[in-house]
Structures are given as C-alpha cells and as structure tokens.
Amino acid sequence: MTVSKKDLLASLREGKRLSMREELLLIWQLSIPAVLAQISHIILEYADASMVGRLGPAPSAAIGLVSSTTWLFGGLCTAAATGFTVQVAHRIGAGELVQARSIVRHGLAVSLGFALFLSLVAATLSPFLPHWLGGSSQICPDASVYFLIYALGIPFMELNYTAGGMLQCSGNMKTPGMLNILMCFLNILFNALLIFPSGTIRLPCTGLSLPGADLGVKGAALGTVCSEIVCALLMLYFLLAHSEMLHLRQREARPVSARELKQAARIAIPQGFESTVMGSAYVAFTAIVAPLGTIAIAANSFSITAEGLCYMPGYGLSLAATTLIGQCFGARRYDLTRRMSWLLTFVTMAVMGCSGALMYCFAPQMIGLLSPDPAIQALGTVILRIEAVAEPFYGASIVISGIFRGMGNTLTSSILTLVSMWAIRIPLAAVLRPGLGLRGVWMAMRLELILRGLFFLLRLKSGKR
C-alpha cells in the first residue's frame, strides 16, 4: 500500500514515529517536483543562452555581463519571500492554520511592496551598470536594455517566489513545479517569437515557420518577463483560491501584526545579507573576468548556465528540506529534525556527486548546445571540468542552507557564505587571473566551493541551530 505525502506530513505534525523508509519516501515525494522545477528553470536559462548564442559572441556577452547582477536582485526577492514562507511552514507544523493564512495575506502584500522598490532601483541603475562592470562599447547598449526589461519584471518574479514558496511550505510541491515547467516552455515560445526574424525557426514536421519580431537581446528579456507574468498569476490563483490549507477566507481577515513583521525581518534580513554577499561577489567575479575579453565573458556565462544543470537538483532538495525541517521544527520534533537533516545532506551530496561526474564527461556537449563558437566551446569545456569535482561539497552547502532556513536560522548561512566568497573566492580569483586567465578564476571557484561545503558540514555536526 502506497503512503501518500499528505499522510506522511500529517504523521510528522502529529508526532508519530516515521521509519527510515518513510523518511526517504517523504524526501523523495517532496523533492522530485522541486528538482524538476529547478531543472526547468535552468532549461529556461539554457533556452535564453542558446537562442542568443546563435546571434554571436557579443549578444551572449551582453547578457553574461549583467547576469550576476540579476542574480543579486533575484536573491533579494528570494530573501523577502523567505521571511514569510518559513513562518507559514512553522504555523502549519504547529497546526495553526488560521495564523498561516494570515501570514499568506500579509506576506504577499509586503513582498510586492518591496519588489516594486527593487524594480525602481534596478531600472535607475540600468544605463550605468554595464559600464561599471567594465563592459566594452560593443556590448554595453544591449546589456543596459536587457537589464532594464529585467528590472520591470521584478514584481512578478517576487510574486512567483512568494506564492510558490508558500505552496511548497504547505507540502504542495507539485503545483509550483508544474507551473515552473510551464514557464520554461512559455519562455522558449516567447523567445522564438521575439528574438529572431520571421522564418528563422521552422516548426518540425510542417512547412510552417514562426513569425518573428527580430528584437535580439531585447526579445530574450521580454520573453523571460512575459513567461514570469503568466506563471506568477497562475501561482497566485492556485495559492489564494485552490490551496486546501492556505486559500483565503474573508471572515479571517485581520490587520498585520508586529510579531509577523518582526519575525519576517529576523529571517529575511540575514537571508538578504547572504544574497547581497553572493550577488555582489558574483558581480565582482564578473568584473574580474571582464578584462579577459568577449570570448572569456561568454564562456564564463555559458559555463555557469551549463553547471546549473548539475546543481539545480541540490536546490530542489534544499526547497524540500525547508518544507520538511520547517514543519518538523514547528511541530517541535527536534529529534526528527536532526535525523532528517543528515539524511537530506547525504542524499544531496550523492545526487550532486553523480551530476558532477556527468558534467565532467559531457562538458563539450553541454557547452556545444549553448554556443556554436569553437573558441567558446573549448574554453567552456576546460573550466566546467575544473569545477566538476566540487559538486558534492556545493550540494552540502546548498541543502544545509535550506535546513537552517527551515529552522528560521538564516544568519549562519550568511556568515559562512560571506567568509567563503569574500575571503577565499574573490581574492584568489584576482590573484590567479593574470597568469592562468579564466582557468585560474575557476580554480579559485572550485577551492571555495569545497571549503564552503566543509564549513557547512562542520556547522551542522555541531548540533547548534
């Protein structure tokens, strides 16, 4: 007899003992939709990169130049969402569903207000950012336009993150996963219509060709934003109207409490700090790579996208960890919290060890899908293989961060990330670049990811929250 995910989560909240088989089954049931959603996200990036890559190295470099800054703003959006989604998990774990629905209502409003502010800041920076990052006059105009369009889509990205995170923390991983997969396909469709001129892409098995707007880099940005808008609206619909636990009831409407906001700030501010540390480090990393030229910028950007296929399963497991640990913690199942934490860590390291081995073997094919340029393919293959060995340790840091997030502790991850990124990766990359070029920069990344994983493992072993 198959035990449903709903029954296992209910048993967890009710204090019932779970066997090792049931714990593994629960991890499997929660993580698979999240992993598929994360893989769909990286496929979305693959589609963007591959389609723009067909336009030549310069348009690819234009997107690659500002991609680290888009991660910075995306990380801040994730932090704002986390401040409320973790509270939802805790309330559900404690059986306080009315309070959980109140947090849904207030969390969406606060997160949207924050995202509108971020959108204004990003739009204001868009004319200047590519020049600050050291981009050449050849790529700066396209990079500015791409970032401006991205900035205008930030509110929808935030709603997608917040609504999806709340559904996931209720135990519903399937709906956000399916909607993110839908977003991937919509992005590919919108890209095909907006990037290329009419007739450039022909539909298989037919004589028809797609109409095209021939917008190039602008089309890639618009395609992504349009797909995000559709996904965000659908995510809100399923959360507010169809979620069994969290759909809103008019009679439960009440004003936001200071306790909710204080708890959200306690979770979100360290998470935002971590995102700022990571994002600013990626910006600095891009600035270190930029003087190496257009080929190096494009190879670096494509390789980061290609690597995402390997580490996105880790992020999917991290989302499952936040849900599981959040509900365990809310239910005060501290023994189960520790046992599940180590089980999640071992599973993630094993999965990412396998994905790292596959990345090493198939690095040429992975880069070849993204760019037809032989120089980019050759350099991208080398640096992907340099980094492959670090994947299990990277997986450890990703999933343990999700575990700490489920406990409501985002400060520890922030501190460990600050030390590893700014004390190890950035200085070492700057030292190795002059002699070893992009290879040296990725050697620095490899060492930093291994050490970061060890830092997180030692912190988890200490048993402290």
User: Which of 369, 362, 368, 365 has the alpha carbon at shortest distance from 385?
Assistant: 362
Split into its structural domains, the chain has a count of: 1
Higher pLDDT, 254 or 389: 389
- Beta-bridged to residue 197, according to DSSP, are 213
pLDDT computed for residue 204 by the predictor: 47
11 occurs within a structural domain: no
Top mean pLDDT of 59-68, 120-129, 135-144 is at 120-129
pLDDT tens sequence across 176-228: 888 988 888 898 889 888 988 876 555 444 555 667 788 888 998 999 899 99
Q: Is 3 inside any structural domain?
A: no
Q: Is residue 4 part of a domain?
A: no
pLDDT reported for residue 383: 93
Tokens coding 104:
């849904």
**Which pLDDT value is given to residue 1?**
44
Beta-carbon count within 10 A of 145 CB? 19
Task: Report the predicted TM-score, pTM, of the whole model to 2 decimal places.
Answer: 0.77
8 in any annotated domain: no
| Cβ 391 vs Cβ 355: under 8 Å | yes
Residue 41: per-residue pLDDT = 66
Parent domain of 201: 18-461
Residue 6 domain flag = no
Check pLDDT > 50 for residue 12: yes
Task: Average the pLDDT over each of 5-14, 126-135, 267-276 and give the range with the smallest value.
Answer: 5-14
According to the model, what pLDDT value does residue 189 have? 87
**Structure confidence at residue 45 (pLDDT):** 65
pLDDT at 19: 81
Is position 250 within any domain? yes
Q: pLDDT value at position 200?
A: 55
